[in-house]
Amino acid sequence: MRAPSLGYGDYVRFSQLVLDRCGLHFPPSRRADLEIGLQRAFAASTCADLDAYYHLLQKPKQGAVEMDRLINILTINESHFFRNAGLNDALYRHVLPQIITRQQQTRTLRIWSAGCASGEEPYSIAIMLHELLPDIDQWSITILGTDINTETLDRARQAVYGNWAFRETRAKQYRARYFRPVRPVLPRKSAPSGSKDPDALPQRPKVSRYNLDPKVQRMVTFAHFNLVEGDYPSHQNNTSLMDLIMCRNVTIYFTEDITARIVDRFYDALANGGWLVVGHAEHSLSTYRRFQTHNFPGAILYQRTLGQEDTSNDQLTVFAPSETPAALPRPGWLAPAPIEAQPAPPEKSLIPAERKQTAPSPQQDPLVLERARELLAVGRSKHARDRLLPVVEGKDPSTPDYAHACTLLGQACANLGHWQEAENWCRQALRSDKLALQAYYTLALVLQHQGQLTQAIDAMKKVIYLDRNNILGHFGLADLYRNNHQLPQAQKSLANALRLLKGRAPDELIPGSDGINVARLRQTIMRQQQRWGTETNRS
């Protein structure tokens, strides 16, 4: 069924609804774009008219699928690998090496591609890190790709791309190293018996699709996220203490007020010294007044400066122009390696060959648990899960390390977004050992993702009951209280976490935090105290 043309009243109410829900701004000059998108989305629905469709979209639960469909149609998702040569030069030559040097002690990197579309941008960053880090397996790297469009996120997870995604010169050169050709299967032509007709032989099909190497694909985690309605920065959804945030050509579809609010939250989501990358056509420089502006050849980047809250845009750091080769070279402190001359390296493994077994015996369980922890630390959750399952299958729950193995399985499943499985494994661990603190902590995070805040708070309280000095327990409880609209309790929990940080060395790592040190967590808590204090006063 085709929707009727939009009257002015329909245009006003639908444009306001889309603006409120996801920040997309359709001024009169883009009214036709909204109308075309609405007609396509309405035709796929079961509604009889626009009134019914409008009311359905307003329902948070019943209209969620329809709203996702409308947003998927209205959002433009154009991306390709290594888009914008000047920007990628700046990232590769200056920004990423600076971040790597700063994080050398903890060997942790945290990067967020907000508005990642079909994944080319975060995967480009992952490829650059492979080039920059010869010991990449020894680093804990978080690359989060988020988008409001569910269809493009599905394509990003598949990591299969056509030739058009490699239209940049350097993308074509890296393709031979980090992608595998996907050849279509052609039917074999039949021929009379004894025929030597060459056309009867199978022909090698032309490659038009390429699959990203799994070792790069595993570095990126994708999640559906709404920059207008989402809660960030947040430790629970992994959007805090970022070293680099990429948000290119996303806010051009927002109003300036909405963009300013998003940029302020990005500032809070960055660690001190962290970088923000936006597109060329974003709003005015005044929107980024809290950042220090860095002017590179062909790119302008913004940095949350060390030891300063706000920085005037009059302070420009200008980097001298550098030559821009067709392919990104390795930095001077790494041995040069021509891209085209090197074959794709075999996938590296943290597990020595002599220790690999498909079905570990009970006496080898501690070794398997140790390797599983290593795999989880570097983001290889699927591999960790596959190694842990044989440890618990058919085992007596009273077996030593059974609860620990179930807890690790819960963490692996949570990292993979398999929330129900994660909950089941955590509860299995707690049935085996009622004092399994880490199982309570993981269970609390899983329950929060499932919207069960009261149960999540109870689980996190048990973490603190078992260990009153657990910093992450107090910090996590604060976030849960705040999400449950219990701001006074949230502020108290933040104060407890901050108290436990007193007297600790700034570079001391927080246990269980994946490399976050005392200084970074203290900064985050103090920013949250200020922001939540403002919310308390308003309420």
Task: Judge whether 109 and 102 are in contact, CB under 8 Å.
Answer: no
The pTM for the full model equals 0.60
- What the block records as the tokens of 436 is 């399994």
Residue 392 predicted with pLDDT over 90: no
Confidence bin at 401 (pLDDT 50/70/90): confident
Last residue of a domain, one of 263, 298, 318: 318
Give the separation between CA 52 and CA 54, rounded to whole angstroms: 5
Lowest average pLDDT, out of 88-102, 122-136, 355-369, 424-438, goes to 355-369
Question: Residue 223: CB partners within 8 Å, gap ≥ 6?
Answer: 144, 145, 146, 153, 237, 417
Same domain, 109 and 219: yes
101 and 25 assigned to the same domain: no
Give domain status of residue 279, yes or no.
Answer: yes
| Residue 156 confidence (pLDDT) | 93
- Establish if 347 belongs to a structural domain: no
| Per-residue confidence (pLDDT) for residue 358, from 0 to 100 | 40
What is the structure's pLDDT at 379?
A: 66
Is residue 309 over pLDDT 80? no
Helix/strand/coil for 245: strand
Looking at residue 67, what is its pLDDT? Answer: 87
Please give the tally of structural domains in the chain.
3
pLDDT of residue 437: 92
> Which residues does 289 contact at the CB level (< 8 Å), separation at least 6?
310, 311, 312, 313
* Span 438-455, average pLDDT: 90
Residues, the chain: 539
**pLDDT range class, residue 160, cuts 50, 70, 90:** very high
**pLDDT higher than threshold 80 for residue 338:** no
Residue 194, in any domain of the structure: no
| pLDDT of 323 higher than 60 | no
What's the gap between Cα 231 and its chain centre? Answer: 14
Residue 511 confidence class, pLDDT cut points 50, 70, 90: confident
User: Residue 509 in contact with residue 106, Cβ under 8 Å?
Assistant: yes
Asked whether residue 70 falls in the same domain as residue 89, the answer is no
Same-domain status, 268 and 365: no
Range in 166-170, 295-299, 385-389 with the lowest mean pLDDT:
295-299
Say if 344 falls within a structural domain: no
281 or 457: which carries more pLDDT confidence? 457
In whole angstroms, how far apart are CA 2 and each of 36, 43, 48, 71? Answer: 10, 5, 10, 18
Is 169 in the same domain as 274? Answer: yes
Question: Does residue 371 sit in the same domain as residue 258?
Answer: no
- 74 CA to centre of own chain: 22
User: Out of 116-125, 222-231, 421-430, which region has the weakest mean confidence (pLDDT)?
Assistant: 222-231
Rama region for 159: left / alpha / beta (φ>0; ψ in -120 to 50; rest) = left
**CATH code of 149's domain:** 3.40.50.150
Name the residue among 21, 130, 119 with its Cα closest to residue 70. 21
Share of the chain above pLDDT 90, in %: 32
Poorest-pLDDT segment among 30-34, 306-310, 398-402: 306-310
User: In angstroms, rounded to a whole number, what is the distance separating the alpha carbons of residues 217 and 211?
Assistant: 9
Q: Given a cut of 80, is residue 391 above it in pLDDT?
A: yes
The string of pLDDT tens digits covering residues 198-248 is: 555 555 667 678 999 999 999 999 999 989 888 888 877 889 889 999 998
Q: Is the pLDDT of residue 393 over 90?
A: no
For 23-83, where are the alpha helices, taking DSSP H only?
31-43, 50-58, 64-74
Domain annotation covers residue 337: no
Does residue 341 fall inside a structural domain? Answer: no
333 band by pLDDT with thresholds 50, 70 and 90: very low
Is 71 in contact with 41 (CB distance < 8 Å)?
A: no
Helix (H, G, I), strand (E, B) or coil at 120: helix
Q: What is the model's pLDDT at position 308?
A: 45
Look up the domain containing 24 and give its range.
8-74
pLDDT of 461 above 80: yes
Is residue 32 pLDDT above 90, yes or no?
Answer: no
Q: Are 476 and 446 part of one and the same domain?
A: yes
> Burial level of 456, CB count in 10 A (0-12/13-18/19+)?
buried
Residue 325 in this model has a pLDDT that exceeds 60: no
**Does the pLDDT at position 489 exceed 50?**
yes
Same domain, 167 and 269: yes
Collapse the DSSP code of 301 into the 3-class scheme (helix H, G, I; strand E, B; otherwise coil) and give the result: strand
Please say if the pLDDT value at position 92 is more than 90: yes
Given a contact cutoff of 8 angstroms between Cβ atoms, the answer to whether 119 and 156 are in contact is yes
Mean pLDDT of 512-523: 77
Cα 386 to its chain centre, rounded Å, is 23
Q: For position 492, which CATH number holds?
A: 1.25.40.10
pLDDT confidence band for 315 (50 / 70 / 90): very low
Sign of CA dihedral 497, 501, 507, 513: negative
Q: What angle do CA 51, 150, 80 make, to 5 degrees?
A: 125
Q: Which of 6-20, 225-239, 275-289 has the lowest mean pLDDT?
A: 275-289
CA 414 vs. chain centroid, Å, equals 14
At residue 459, what is the residue type?
A
Sheet containing strand 179-182, edge to edge, reads: 160-162, 209-212, 179-182
* Encoded tokens for 410: 């819960």
Beta-carbon contacts of 78 under 8 Å, excluding residues fewer than 6 positions away, are 117
Torsion over CA: 91, 94, 97, 103 (sign): negative
Q: Tell the burial category of 173 from Cβ atoms under 10 Å away from its Cβ (0-12, 13-18, 19+).
A: middle
pLDDT of residue 340: 33
Let me know if residue 463 belongs to a domain.
yes
- Are residues 170 and 106 both part of a single domain? yes
* Mean pLDDT in residue range 368-380: 78
Lowest mean pLDDT among 75-79, 261-265, 290-294: 75-79
Are residue 228 and residue 303 in the same domain, yes or no?
Answer: yes
32 lies in the same domain as 132 = no
* Whole-number pLDDT of residue 247: 92
Residue 110 pLDDT class (50, 70, 90 cuts):
very high
Residue 148 has pLDDT above 60, yes or no: yes
Among 318, 334, 363, give the residue marking a domain's end. 318
Does 362 have pLDDT greater than 60? no
Lowest mean pLDDT among 44-58, 96-110, 490-504, 509-523: 509-523
pLDDT for position 458: 94
Mean pLDDT of the 144-166 span: 92
Mean pLDDT value of segment 148-153:
89
Nearest to 374 by CA among 396, 352, 391: 352
Same domain, 373 and 504: yes
pLDDT grade, residue 341 (50/70/90)?
Answer: very low
Tell me the residue ranges of DSSP E strands in 148-217: 160-162, 179-182, 209-212
Report the pLDDT value the prediction gives residue 11, as an integer from 0 to 100.
85
Q: 1 or 538: whose pLDDT is higher?
A: 538
Q: Is 295 part of a structural domain of the chain?
A: yes
- What SS3 state is found at 80? coil
| Residue 196, pLDDT score | 54
137 touches 383 (CB < 8 A): no
